[in-house]
A and B are shown apart, each in its own frame.
Chain A
């Protein structure tokens, strides 16, 4: 038993700063929640990490007259992947919406759709890697190409694991229907992964074509 605070006269009050204590909710949802704030700052620091990766790409590129030396990478698969990943944000957004109305089956269906689309993205990405004529250790450009796409690949994988976790929770009825904090966080993270891909696409696939 630790030492107890000095005994004082406690006068518990019903109002705090003008607000009746009884009327305060237990926890809050949405952007006021500490959960949302935590995810937001996590995304900010991860976005910064990608910013430094892109900085390295442009920095090394600026020191070469030909960048990349063998021309810009093939567009076809990357365009397909862009369409898949960006459009997968729609079912994710909708899943977040319908959960609050208690439509668990529809919610699971939508999450399953995101899961399939995300997995397709990963498979296409891996195919593209195997199609390349260079390996990570070929030169500085190839090192950057694989590391940047690899970091993004890992982030998509993490997002898919989060989605699997949500589906499992829905299956065993441990999903937070009344205040969907976890789902909202996964959705925010998933949109973030899509935005990073768009910047990655512009950097690696488009920028060598415009100058």
Chain B
């Protein structure tokens, strides 16, 4: 009689082969792929930034031509905002959603694989253009009419529109997967009020994506049609409007800011209680604050457009609306501060990154509040002040929590601890150089330096600040390198992590490191927000981690529970590995190549292959029909 672990192993772990590599639907495999791929995009975007900074170090530098510079800063922005900042968060969410809620996989494992392949191949598609010297070159927000065929005749901006449309497929199916997983697959007893705060960030971001990404898709389709087929959406001469692009782009764009920061905020809400050695203060406030930020995010897009000549009433409204974002953000900050205040802090590397993040969040928040004021915005619009703000927000509120999350959760993923000693160096190098590099950008902005200029004349007083920024950014790159070194060091020499190296309270720490393919040998039952801390919190043993239904049937099984209270509803049969998601995403890639190059036969063939792929993907087995 095989043991339970062996029986589950045979069901959940397919034999290794090329096929199983391409066909895997295991959320942990997909999560790791997301993390590695997004980190590679971070490094690519970082190298692009390094070249940009080399160009800007001195006045009258001619390392790059203006055309090459345009492509470079556009690719840097696109890579960081779309192919790093969001996918890296999806990587953590993919890996940890099922582990945190006591499930064995995501709700739609094949969609999950499809989401990853579309992310990867859309990035390949974008960089095909760049490799051919045809990379997008009109900035990451691609304002019309500068992007219209008349002013941008090459196919550079067609790579932009199509790569983004391809990526929205990945984001949309991924988000639907997160939402349904969080609402349907939680362990019994895990009511919404016991959901780890981690989930609230990703859930809010997922809802934002459902409602915001279609706006980007519409904008990109319009621009593509304008450029390829001569329509007039953004062409004032034909009755269109260039401002329509800005509306559509920022209706998507501002919620997207929260998409790339809210999950990161919720990583911090998991890390701080663990290292303050107490449950989080104000759980409900924090959860509601995150949701509120996501909702407000849809009502503030016009603050990106104060310089377009809108009616004063509209600007006042959106200015006031933008300032209300302060309220939920401040709630989060005070929740973390109160937790630290009430706890006994263990200053691990992960905790240092979390604390550094709070500091940067405040600076990025303050420069955000001032830019929300219309008169101030007029003074600094299109200057380096805005560049400073976006870097404090995106690097400060996304990258620092991401590195904190790596130090915190990599031991669960790899089973090995990272070096704390190197980690402390890692933190201080990154934190100090970040401020050294990016804070002076505020000053160059106030000195009137416009963004996106490939060089500047001597004697206007911008040399020193730019030199300091370049030095800071190179040391910052070194800091990221220290993390990479620490990661590879840990794989070989790191101490074994054990199940719960940080003595944390949430469910992912109840299984082994790395977790087995089936995550949990029994489906746990949850009785509180901190299932692993119950006895020492004096609430007795409410949760049951190692006793529960085994669901070790002949196929993959997990439990479906009710949406609000987490009461058992049914046993779910989970799908086997499938090659179809990979094939469908390849077919889409072919179709997009056809669309960008105006090879309509290829586009049509890719489209038809996509349909046949979906047919194969969804074809029910005889057993599924007769069950």
- B-chain residues with CB within 8 Å of residue A210 when the two chains form the complex: none
Which residue in chain B gives the minimum CB-CB distance to A29? B570
A17 to B560 Cα, complex, angstroms: 13
Which A residues from 4 to 36 make CB contacts under 8 A with B? Answer: 4-13, 16-17, 19, 21, 24-28, 32, 34
CB distance from B485 to the nearest CB of A (A): 26
CB distance from A23 to the nearest CB of B (A): 10
A6, A53, A64, most chain B CB atoms within 10 A: A6
Q: Does B232 touch A at the CB level, under 8 Å?
A: yes
Which A residues from 30 to 74 make CB contacts under 8 A with B? Answer: 32, 34, 37-38, 41-42, 44-46, 48-49, 51-53, 55-56, 59-60, 63-64, 69
CB distance from B302 to the nearest CB of A (A): 13
Instruction: Among B5, B213, B232, point to the contact of A140 (Cβ < 8 A).
Output: B232
Given contacts A3-B512, A28-B570, contact A38 B108 (CB under 8 A): yes
CB distance from B102 to the nearest CB of A (A): 11
Instruction: Among A9, A60, A63, A177, point to the contact of B546 (Cβ < 8 A).
Output: A9
- A-chain residues with CB within 8 Å of residue B180 when the two chains form the complex: 34, 37-38, 41
Q: Which of the 9-residue segments A102-110, A124-132, A141-149 touches chain B? A: A141-149
CB distance from B562 to the nearest CB of A (A): 8
CB distance from B11 to the nearest CB of A (A): 13
- A-chain residues with CB within 8 Å of residue B521 when the two chains form the complex: 5, 8, 10
A143 to B225 Cα, complex, angstroms: 9
CB distance from B197 to the nearest CB of A (A): 23
Q: Does B63 touch A at the CB level, under 8 Å?
A: no
Contact A13 B620 (CB under 8 A): no
Q: Does B578 touch A at the CB level, under 8 Å?
A: no
A104 to B608 Cα, complex, angstroms: 29
- B-chain residues with CB within 8 Å of residue A26 when the two chains form the complex: 570-571, 573, 627
Contact A136 B231 (CB under 8 A): yes
Contact B218 A5 (CB under 8 A): no
- B-chain residues with CB within 8 Å of residue A41 when the two chains form the complex: 176, 179-180, 210
Given contacts A4-B5, A143-B231, contact A12 B548 (CB under 8 A): yes
Contact A137 B229 (CB under 8 A): yes
Contact B568 A16 (CB under 8 A): yes
Contact B232 A10 (CB under 8 A): no
CB distance from A162 to the nearest CB of B (A): 10
- B-chain residues with CB within 8 Å of residue A16 when the two chains form the complex: 188, 523, 525, 548-549, 559, 568
A13 to B238 Cα, complex, angstroms: 71
A12 to B225 Cα, complex, angstroms: 60
Given contacts A140-B232, A140-B239, A176-B624, contact A147 B108 (CB under 8 A): no
- B-chain residues with CB within 8 Å of residue A176 when the two chains form the complex: 620, 624-625
- A-chain residues with CB within 8 Å of residue B348 when the two chains form the complex: none
Q: Does B511 touch A at the CB level, under 8 Å?
A: yes
Given contacts A5-B521, A41-B180, A176-B625, contact A11 B516 (CB under 8 A): no
CB distance from A204 to the nearest CB of B (A): 16
Q: Does B376 touch A at the CB level, under 8 Å?
A: no
Given contacts A2-B516, A143-B231, contact A25 B571 (CB under 8 A): yes
- A-chain residues with CB within 8 Å of residue B548 when the two chains form the complex: 12-13, 16
Which residue in chain B gives the minimum CB-CB distance to A53? B218
Contact A2 B517 (CB under 8 A): yes
- A-chain residues with CB within 8 Å of residue B183 when the two chains form the complex: 37
- B-chain residues with CB within 8 Å of residue A56 when the two chains form the complex: 218, 222, 233, 244, 248
A115 to B511 Cα, complex, angstroms: 51
Q: Does B419 touch A at the CB level, under 8 Å?
A: no
Q: Does B184 touch A at the CB level, under 8 Å?
A: yes
Q: Does A161 touch B at the CB level, under 8 Å?
A: yes
Which residue in chain B gives the minimum CB-CB distance to A42? B176
CB distance from B28 to the nearest CB of A (A): 10
Q: Does B217 touch A at the CB level, under 8 Å?
A: yes
Instruction: Among B4, B13, B176, B233, point to the contact of A143 (Cβ < 8 A).
Output: B233
- A-chain residues with CB within 8 Å of residue B627 when the two chains form the complex: 26-27, 178
Q: Does A169 touch B at the CB level, under 8 Å?
A: yes
Instruction: Among B232, B516, B568, point to the contact of A24 (Cβ < 8 A).
Output: B568
A16, A19, A147, most chain B CB atoms within 10 A: A16
Contact B244 A59 (CB under 8 A): yes
Contact B213 A45 (CB under 8 A): yes
A161 to B612 Cα, complex, angstroms: 11
Q: Does A101 touch B at the CB level, under 8 Å?
A: no
- A-chain residues with CB within 8 Å of residue B232 when the two chains form the complex: 137, 139-140, 143
Count contacts between A and B, CB distance < 8 Å.
198
Contact B240 A143 (CB under 8 A): yes
Which residue in chain B gives the minimum CB-CB distance to A59? B244
A59 to B233 Cα, complex, angstroms: 11
A149-180 interface mask toward B, CB cutoff 8 Å, 1 = contact, 0 = none? 00000000000010001000100011111100
Given contacts A56-B222, A143-B232, A143-B233, contact A24 B5 (CB under 8 A): no
Which residue in chain B gives the minimum CB-CB distance to A17? B188
Instruction: Among B3, B107, B571, point to the contact of A27 (Cβ < 8 A).
Output: B571
| Number of A positions contacting B (CB below 8 A) | 61
Contact B230 A137 (CB under 8 A): yes
Q: Does B321 touch A at the CB level, under 8 Å?
A: no
Given contacts A41-B179, A48-B211, contact A28 B560 (CB under 8 A): yes
- B-chain residues with CB within 8 Å of residue A141 when the two chains form the complex: 239
Contact B560 A34 (CB under 8 A): yes
B72-116 interface mask toward A, CB cutoff 8 Å, 1 = contact, 0 = none? 000000000000000000000000000000000001100100000
Given contacts A4-B9, A176-B620, contact A45 B214 (CB under 8 A): yes
CB distance from A11 to the nearest CB of B (A): 4
A38 to B213 Cα, complex, angstroms: 17
Contact B225 A136 (CB under 8 A): yes
- A-chain residues with CB within 8 Å of residue B108 when the two chains form the complex: 34, 38
CB distance from B115 to the nearest CB of A (A): 13
CB distance from B509 to the nearest CB of A (A): 13
Q: Does B343 touch A at the CB level, under 8 Å?
A: no
Which residue in chain B gives the minimum CB-CB distance to A151? B221
CB distance from A12 to the nearest CB of B (A): 5
- A-chain residues with CB within 8 Å of residue B571 when the two chains form the complex: 21, 24-27
- B-chain residues with CB within 8 Å of residue A55 when the two chains form the complex: 247
- B-chain residues with CB within 8 Å of residue A5 when the two chains form the complex: 5, 511-512, 515-516, 521
- B-chain residues with CB within 8 Å of residue A64 when the two chains form the complex: 239
- A-chain residues with CB within 8 Å of residue B188 when the two chains form the complex: 16-17, 19
A9 to B531 Cα, complex, angstroms: 19
A79-105 interface mask toward B, CB cutoff 8 Å, 1 = contact, 0 = none? 000000000000000000000000000
A175 to B624 Cα, complex, angstroms: 10
Instruction: Among B215, B511, B522, B573, point to the contact of A12 (Cβ < 8 A).
Output: B522
A13 to B230 Cα, complex, angstroms: 67
Contact A59 B214 (CB under 8 A): no
- A-chain residues with CB within 8 Å of residue B525 when the two chains form the complex: 16-17
Q: Does B567 touch A at the CB level, under 8 Å?
A: yes
Q: Does B550 touch A at the CB level, under 8 Å?
A: yes
Contact B619 A174 (CB under 8 A): yes
CB distance from B188 to the nearest CB of A (A): 4
CB distance from A158 to the nearest CB of B (A): 9
User: When A and B form their complex, which 9 residue pairs have the shortest distance between CB atoms, in order from nearest?
Assistant: A140-B239, A143-B231, A49-B214, A137-B230, A140-B240, A17-B188, A140-B232, A41-B176, A52-B218
Q: Which A residues lie at the B interface, using CB under 8 A?
A: 1-13, 16-17, 19, 21, 24-28, 32, 34, 37-38, 41-42, 44-46, 48-49, 51-53, 55-56, 59-60, 63-64, 69, 136-137, 139-141, 143-144, 147, 161, 165, 169, 173-178, 182
Q: Could you jot down 8 A-B contacts, CB within 8 Å?
A: A3-B514, A6-B512, A26-B573, A28-B560, A28-B570, A34-B572, A136-B231, A147-B221
